[in-house]
Structure 1
Amino acid sequence: MSAAHSAVPAAFTRGLDDPACRDPREFGGKAAGLAGLCAAGLPVAPGFAIGAAAYRAFLDESGLRAAVVAALEGGDPAAAADQLGAQLAAAPTPAAVDAEIRQRYQRLCEQSGVADLDVAVRSSATAEDSATASFAGEFQTWVDVVGAEDVLAHVRRCWSSVFAAQAIGYARNSGLDPAAVEMAVVVQRTVRARAAGVMFTISPVTGDRSRIVIEASWGLGLAVVGGEVTPDRWVIDKVGLGIVEFTPGDKRIEYRRGGAAVGVDPARWAQPCLTDAQVISLARLGKQIERQQGCPQDLEFAVEQDQPAGRELVLLQRRPETVWSSRPHRPRFDASHPVTRWISGAVTGNRAGG
């Protein structure tokens, strides 16, 4: 590492391995979850977080805070989003924030040995993934972002997404003041995923805490969480760590990069995208994290291509499971639907079969 980038100021950013990054009030649920995984020595792609202080500086130095409050006084989220969109796009990034993000990205490039590293830029709202409100699905992640200019542009997109119509409406429906939601951002090395998916350390259909449920498909996890494929599904006994059920999916598309999906060879449509050994290793990680956190977990993971067995599993996100835990009564659902579709429907208020 060059001397010019041996240290990075920490007014607005922190490495995911920095204990300060574990504060969800400043760095949001996504960053705090990843930082906790780092602290436990679990496999996480390297990166850094941009705290809500940078977002506050953006609103304050641009003079937009009063405009935000005024726009949100109306009752129509779409009108507020339209009113704020152009103003947010035109506002400059504070110079100190700009410089610190550039230095942090350069340091990540140097650590990875790549001049212009491909990264994922991920929203991490300070109200996200809390016990009372999960913004999963309301804010976006972009992958294959290359170069400091593109990173900065996508950080601004994360900030602007706070005032998207859907996010404003969701915040209000959750009893939150949209103006009080602040946005942190996670920047990580892009994981080239051979397969990816989600894992719940509780059955989200029955609430059975003795089960771990994994759903996965080929490529990046976009096709799984977006409901574009029927993923493979495994149910694992949490105590004995044995696979008790496997349901093959129908995986006809995959996202190899952040652009459009591509077709999957028909021979792989029903072929399991994870080996039994990978399933058990993931379940073991899930069990360990649940024990550390003291409650059922909702995890996202990837199987990184071109990595040897035992080093290919990467954890992308950790948060408390909220759908079942916040609904003590038996939910109305169609048990034939994939778990991820039911989870997504519950978050958006459009549950399958309910």
Structure 2
Amino acid sequence: MYTTELADEACRDVREVGGKALGLAEMVADELPVSPAFTVVAAAYRAFLAQGDLRAQLDGILGNIAKPGDGAAYDKAERDILAVLGQTPLPSDVADQVRTSYEKLCRDTGVPDVAVAVRSSATAEDSVATSFAGEFETWVDIVGTADVLEHVRKCYLSVFSSRVLSYVAMKEIDPYSIEMAVVIQKTVRARAAGVMFTISPTSGDRSKIVLEANWGLGLSVVGGEVTPDRYVVEKVGLVVAERIMGDKRVEYRRGDALVEVPEDRRDAFCLTDAEVLALARFGKRLERLHGGAQDIEFAVDEELPDGSNLVLLQCRPETVWSNARRGPVFDPGGSVMSWISGSITGTNGGTYGAVDATHTSSTH
């Protein structure tokens, strides 16, 4: 079996579906709202690499990286691996099962050639000790069987990107221990979208829920292309304690390009208080479900009526404060996602960059 639906028990095996798919499956099991999806399990990735002499060729390329930390060597390895894997098709039985599952998704949603997000869900991703969040690729608005199959393969290639190879070398991780599952999920037509943390990611205050959002898809928030609206909710009593207007000049209406936000929406909050509080309730449920603080991606689907238009896209353990030994240095006026990005690269001077290697893709 190379594919599984979120409601299937098989989608609860993190070793086969990865953290991203597991998070979605657990939300479905807890009757939380997610967009319809299926998962291409890690067994399909193993079958891809088992073709011919691929492993031997990869071993030869990786063995030529003589000096850890040599960025040019990792860039060359990525190019060489892409030249090998980029010409390798998916095994026919894997392609057949992905094709069948995609056609079923089209039927279930009532949309022929439904647009989907193709989302990497690495089996090593999102653990507290070693976070790969943001290292692997996600694509949105992929339409049709052929493009879905091609982007599954692209997810596989992202395991061997220069940045991933460099990171696993730094952490002394066997690159073959990272196996790639892929989530194929109906694209949400987002009026607004963003991220929610069930802990303050800048102070570690567990009494707060923090949301950041922009108009359109959440790519602009995760990618740092806007200063999003920020909302702070008190967990006890569930009241909106703070609202900070962002600088929302651009948005993704589809997954391929930024467009300008009309002026009448730039100075309007993209979430209502009712939506913020409903999302916060979901956040509290997820925190109880997982037994710890969570990092959650969400959207408001403009195709759905009020009251049923909130969709949870992804849930993973919050990693900034999980192993922190001291408080980070941060700019209170900056974006939460800017702080996260700075922590990853080490430019903030906080402990997160030293402890871990985050969105959603990377691309998000």
Q: Verify: 1:295 aligned to 2:292, yes or no.
A: yes
Correspondent of 1:345 among 330, 337, 342? 342
Structure 1 distance, partners of 2:187, 2:350, is: 36
TM-score (norm 2): 0.92
| Alpha-carbon shift at residue 328 of structure 1 (Å) | 2.9
Stretch moving more, 128-137 or 296-305 = 128-137
Q: How many residues align?
A: 344
Check whether the contact 2:328–2:349 (CA below 8 A) recurs between aligned residues. Answer: no
Correspondent of 1:313 among 282, 307, 310? 310
- Aligned residue number for residue 7 of structure 1: none
| Alpha-carbon shift at residue 121 of structure 1 (Å) | 0.4
| Alpha-carbon shift at residue 55 of structure 1 (Å) | 0.5
Check whether the contact 2:234–2:240 (CA below 8 A) recurs between aligned residues. Answer: yes
- Aligned residue number for residue 124 of structure 1: 121
Structure 2 distance, partners of 1:51, 1:87, is: 22
- Aligned residue number for residue 144 of structure 2: 147
Q: Verify: 1:31 aligned to 2:28, yes or no.
A: no
Query: What 5-or-longer segments of structure 2 have no aligned partner?
Result: 68-72, 352-364
Correspondent of 2:239 among 239, 242, 260? 242
- Aligned residue number for residue 168 of structure 2: 171
| Alpha-carbon shift at residue 349 of structure 1 (Å) | 3.0
Query: What 5-or-longer segments of structure 1 have no aligned partner?
Result: 1-10
What secondary structure sits across from 1:331 in the alignment? coil
Q: What is the percentage of aligned positions where both structures have the same residue?
A: 56
Stretch moving more, 293-302 or 334-343 = 334-343
- Aligned residue number for residue 61 of structure 2: 71
Correspondent of 2:35 among 31, 42, 45? 45
| Alpha-carbon shift at residue 306 of structure 1 (Å) | 2.7
Aligned pairs (5 A) from 1:1-354: 11-73=1-63, 74=65, 75=67, 76-351=73-348
Instruction: Give CA-to-partner distance per residue, 1:174-230, whole Å, 9 cap, x none.
Output: 332223211110001110000000000000111110000000000000100011100
Structure 2 distance, partners of 1:111, 1:140, is: 26
Structure 1 distance, partners of 2:41, 2:320, is: 27
Higher RCO (CA 8 Å, separation ≥ 6 residues): 2
Check whether the contact 2:98–2:149 (CA below 8 A) recurs between aligned residues. Answer: yes
| Alpha-carbon shift at residue 54 of structure 1 (Å) | 0.4
Q: Return structure 1 stretches of 4+ with deviation > 4 angstroms.
A: none
Provide closer, same or farther for how the CA distance between residues 175 and 331 of structure 1 changes in structure 2, counting only shifts above 3 A.
farther
Root mean square deviation of aligned Cα: 1.4
Q: Which amino acid aligns with 1:83?
A: D
Q: Which amino acid aligns with 1:222?
A: L
What secondary structure sits across from 1:61 in the alignment? coil
Check whether the contact 1:193–1:219 (CA below 8 A) recurs between aligned residues. Answer: yes
